[in-house]
Amino acid sequence: MDQQTKELVALGAAVAAGCHHCIEQYLAKCDQLELSPQDVADAVEVGLAVRDSARDAMEKYAQDMLGHYPQDAA
């Protein structure tokens, strides 16, 4: 894998993890490597999609686990 691809993957992972400092560092590295704005935007979009998918899966899991506990009939 070339360095440009590694930086784009790392940027997407940083977005998915919500690491502001990491995102800033990887964006600076992408600028340094003169990556296209479209490639950077695509990496960010992939990171957002991964984050959203993980959030949705956790929400479903939490709701499923909540169903194992009796609810007060107030």
Q: Which SS3 state, helix, strand or coil, does residue 68 take?
A: coil
pLDDT at 70 over 70: no
Q: Indicate the pTM of the whole model.
A: 0.80
The first and second tokens of residue 18, run together, are 């919500």
Whether the Cβ atoms of residue 27 and residue 11 lie closer than 8 Å to each other: yes
Which has more pLDDT, 71 or 5? 5
DSSP class of 67: T
Give the pLDDT of residue 73.
55
Residue 33 φ/ψ, nearest 5 degrees: -85, 0
Q: Spell out the long-range contacts of 16-19 with Cβ–Cβ below 8 A and sequence spacing 24 or more.
A: 16/47, 16/48, 16/50, 16/51, 16/54, 17/51, 18/51
